[in-house]
Structure formats: structure tokens, C-alpha cells
Amino acid sequence: MTEHIMGNGVPIVATQLVRNFGETVAVNQLSFKVHAGEIYGLLGPNGAGKTTTVRMVSGLLPPIEGEVQVFGFNPMTQPIEVKKRIGLVPEDHILYESLTPREFFNFVASVRRLNQSEVENRMLSLIDAFEFAEYYDKPIATLSHGNRQKASIMSALIHDPPLLVLDEPFSGLDARTVRVLKDILNIHLENGGGILFSSHILEVAESLCDRIGIIDEGRMVAEGTVSELREMVKSHGSLEEIFLRAVQQDEEVAETVKALRKALAKNTSL
């Protein structure tokens, strides 16, 4: 990672972000920072506003209020500066179905005007790590969900970006691939890059993230390291307990599980 590409050196500063869709307030006054060498996890239940936040950070969606800075650049007004520095793995992979991964990566590399041989070297080591060789020349339309996810991750890494933005990147990956992706993320951090990561899977965030922001209904309800979050809710339990407490759903979930157990017990006795 070269110096000039680092801009002001701070991967993400998000300030008071607001975004609605009609009546629905998806993100509400959300502020957070991601520092260089840090992996920051946005954690929250379905519909909490994670994907909307990721899209605003990446310049795919304008905030109604507030501002994002990526290495000091604004994703809406300076999209080229920002796209150079971000590797995005979106929730829904936008890949070209009729191309093979090889063709798709070449296409991305040429649009980004990257050095072809550097790209090939980087891709070869990723293909090796992901055991992807046999899918490299098959149309993307024929790939399984997990292999598309691998292709999406690889295409995000093509230009060696200093910031990775990953929306639920572990969904649908097998244990080996999860391990490989974790290693890739750790190497990225060791090289001084930053990572924004979203998940509703608590164990993954707990084991991976330097800091976690718990969001619910578009608002930040708690933020800190895992141990700081523990301290905050005066709990020594797992992050799952912290998470549920923070969003005040623990009693609600217990009730739901109780009701579910009753309903399922009835069904099996039929």
C-alpha cells in the first residue's frame, strides 16, 4: 500500500448519518470511525441499517443528512478517489453472469487501469488460497452461492485497496473458506489497512473485531471493544447476551423461544 493512496490516513469517519426510505428511517444519526490497522464490526439484527450504512460509506447511496469521509474524501462528491481506496463486498453480489471469473477480473482490472501482471500474481495466490482454480473459467451463472461469494471477495481485492468494506462476508462460506478469509483480513490489517465489516453473527464479530458498534433501528446503541461492551452492560457473558441486552431483546427472545417450543411440541405430538 503506497503512501499517497492513504489520503489523510483515516479509513472512515462517518458523522451523524441519516437515511430514510419513505416512512422507514433506516439509519438515524449514526457516527463511527474506522482507524488504520483496525477492523470495526457493525453488529445488529436484520433490518438494523447495516447494509444502508455500508452503501453510504461506499458511495452507492447518498445520506439525507450527515457526512462520510473515506481517507478524507467524500464518497458522493469524490467517487473516483473513494473507489480507488475501497474494496467492497456487497450483500448482493453484482457480478456479470455470462462472464467467467477470469473474464470478470480482467474486465475490472482494465476499467481500473491496473497493471495486468501485478493483478495476475495477486489473483493467482487468491485462487490458490480459495481452491478456486476449477471455477476460474466457468460462467459465473453456473457457480454456487459460496463460489460467487469467493469471486466477489477476490474482485474486491483486485486493486489492493487500503479499506475493505464487507457486508456479511461470511454468509454461505464453508469452514475452510471462513478460515482463509479471516487470514486475508488479518494480513490486510498487518499491512496497515482498515476494515469495516457487518454481521448479525455474533461469534464471528467477537473473534475478529477490534471494536464493535451495535446498531438497532438505525441507531448506535453501544460501541467499544468486546471487553468494553461487557463492562458497559455489567455482564461477563458472551457477546450474544451483551448484544441482546443492548437492544433490549433478551426478554422478548426468551418469550418467543418459549412460544416456539410450545408450538413445536404440539406439532410433534400430532
**Which residues bind to ligand ADP, rule: CB under 6 A?**
21, 24, 26, 44, 46-52
Binding partner selected for residue 241 from Mg ion, ligand ADP, none, CB under the kind-specific 5 to 8 Å limit: none
Single out the segment in contact with Mg ion by CB under 5 A; choices: 45-53, 64-72, 137-145, 153-161.
Answer: 45-53
Per CB under 5 A, 199 contacts Mg ion: no
Rounded to a whole number of angstroms, the minimum distance from the CB of residue 36 to Mg ion is 25
Distance CA 196, CA 71 (A): 13
Interacting residues of 177 by C-beta distance below 8 A, sequence separation 6+? 130, 146, 149, 150
Give yes or no for residue 52 binding Mg ion (CB under 5 A).
no
Q: Minimal distance in Å, beta carbon 24 to ligand ADP? A: 5
Among 28, 51, 177, 199, binds Mg ion (CB under 5 A): 51
Q: Which is nearer to ligand ADP, 26 or 205 (CB)?
A: 26
Smallest gap, in angstroms, from Cβ of residue 48 to ligand ADP? Answer: 4
Angle among Cα 13, 163, 38 to the nearest 5 degrees reads 70
Q: How many CB atoms lie within 10 A of CB 144?
A: 10
Half-sphere exposure of 112 (CA within 13 A, CB side): 25
- Closest contact distance (angstroms) between CB of 109 and ligand ADP is 29
* CA 123/CA 134 separation, integer angstroms: 14
Q: Could you tell me which residues come within 8 angstroms of residue 202 by beta carbon, excluding any fewer than 6 positions away?
A: 43, 238, 239, 240, 243
Which pairing describes strands 163-167 and 24-34: parallel, antiparallel, or unpaired? unpaired
Q: Which does 267 bind (CB under 5 to 8 A by kind): ligand ADP, Mg ion, none?
A: none
Question: What does the alpha-carbon distance between residue 228 and residue 231 come to, in Å, rounded to a whole number?
Answer: 5
Element containing residue 140 per DSSP (H, E) = none
Nearest distance, CB of residue 42 and ligand ADP, angstroms: 8
CB of 267 to Mg ion, least distance (A): 31
DSSP 268: H
Task: Name which of ligand ADP, Mg ion, none residue 140 binds, using a CB cut-off of 5 to 8 Å depending on partner kind.
Answer: none
Q: Which single residue is written with the C-alpha cell 463511527?
A: 32
Site string for Mg ion, 65-94 (x = CB under 5 A): --------------------------x---
Residue ranges binding Mg ion (CB under 5 A): 50-51, 91
